[in-house]
A and B are shown apart, each in its own frame.
Chain A
Amino acid sequence: MSRQTARTGDPRKVNGELFTLTYGALVAQLLRDYEDDEEVNKQLEKMGYNIGVRLIEDFLARSNTGRCNDFRETSDIISRLGFKMYLGITPVISNWSPAGDEFSLLIENNPLSDFVELPEGHSALNYSNILCGVLKGALEMIQMDVDVWFVQDQLKGDNITEIRLKFNKRLEDAVPAGED
């Protein structure tokens, strides 16, 4: 995918800009097709979800991580391994809720929006909403039900891009034998 160097054993690399441009073209086309920011957000999340449920297996196969015992461990692995492996960035984790079930990922330079300037009148569009879907899909496959949403976005003039994750429950029905 993008500027990854951490991944070993795979000499094929794609130019990061091509990836960014591809994603940009996708969002632009969705905007033309749906003409509604909310609908585009929904579509992006859906796409991300479908990526997430597949990507998690790749992540597990290559990262050698065990099962997390609490949400803090999860947050650490998402940022330090997940984002690093696939996007080449390490978001900062902050703004923990007192109960320890919500946190924020702060992204300084989002590779998806490298060349992007949002046009007027798209204040509701979450350009990188695909990331929310990926996180939700991936965590759901390892039996964690979470809500993921954008709080701030540098594209909308905020200082930083902030994605918030909220842990709802463990999906007990889906836990594989031996781990319940």
Chain B
Amino acid sequence: MAIYSVYIINKAGGLIYQYDHFTNRPEVEKTFSFPLELVLKVFDEKVVVAFGERDGIKVGHTVLAINGKLVEGRYLQDGRDIIEFLASQENFPLDIKFGRPKLTTNEKIMLASMFHSLFAIGSQLSPDLRSSGIEVLETDTFKLHCHQTMTGVKFIVIADPKQAHIDVLLKKLYEVYTDFALKNPFYSLDMPIRCDLFDSNLQSAIEQAEKLGISNV
């Protein structure tokens, strides 16, 4: 039972707020000696496992850290290429941490504007006028709940499929947005929200919703 993340999209389709609440991404760290049994390749500026599943490391997992130091895309923090680094024997033995990478800010912005268009398409497909657009999008691992206000702002909550009472949370998030973003005189409309008060109130709203969801299931 969990709420994974929250997105707020302005009426033009721009992402103005994003918050990852619960990240239960499996990460595997393992010590390797030369030569590496896994086949790695560079994909989308990241080093991913191309072949050879073992010990919970799966094809598609990305190299997150080497010897406890986080990597930056396909390079180590000191700028060396990971593939080259792993090809030379003197660097071994070493620990590599694999896992599913977090979305980068750019990817989030892109996905948000894509959802905005998808939402518009969704409401155009409706046989009747005034369709609400996409309200729920369900997959086997998560459920996306969307609420569009009359002014065109979209609140999106991504949660566990079994999490209940998301509609209450969406309404609460709208109130938090009006109270701590809009009523802050220094917040400019339709711009990314960077307010500590907003952050903390949003978090407590989410925690409350999680408790509520559990007690009612």
Contacts and interface: CB of A to CB of B under 8 A. Distances in A.
Contact of B183 (A58, A62, A176, A177): A58
21 contacts: A56-B151, A57-B153, A57-B174, A57-B177, A58-B178, A61-B174, A61-B175, A61-B178, A67-B150, A142-B150, A174-B152, A176-B152, A177-B119, A177-B148, A178-B120, A178-B123, A178-B126, A178-B130, A178-B133, A179-B130, A179-B150
A59 to B, nearest CB: 9
B149 interface: yes
A139 to B, nearest CB: 11
Interface string B118-138: 011011101000111100000
A62 B189 contact: no
A67 B148 CA distance: 13
Contacts of B178: 54, 57-58, 61-62
Contacts of A56: 151
A141 interface: yes
Contacts, number: 60
Interface in A134-178: 141-142, 174-178
Contacts of B175: 61-62
Interface string A50-80: 0001101110111000010000000000000
A175 B150 CA distance: 9
Given A54-B189, A61-B171, A176 B182 contact: no
Contacts of B126: 178
Interface residues of B, number: 26
B179 interface: yes
A48 to B, nearest CB: 14
B80 interface: no
Contact of B11 (A54, A58, A174): A174
Interface in B130-164: 130-133, 148-153
Contact of B151 (A62, A141, A177): A141
A126 to B, nearest CB: 23
Interface of A: 53-54, 56-58, 60-62, 67, 141-142, 174-179
A176 B148 contact: yes
Interface string B176-204: 01110011000001000000000000000
A142 B11 CA distance: 12
A61 B133 CA distance: 19
Given A174-B11, A177-B120, A178-B123, A54 B182 contact: yes
Contacts of A57: 149, 151, 153, 174, 177-178, 182
A115 to B, nearest CB: 25
B174 A142 contact: no
Contact of A178 (B11, B131, B174): B131
A179 B131 CA distance: 7
Contacts of B124: 177
Nearest to A65: B150
A61 B175 CA distance: 6
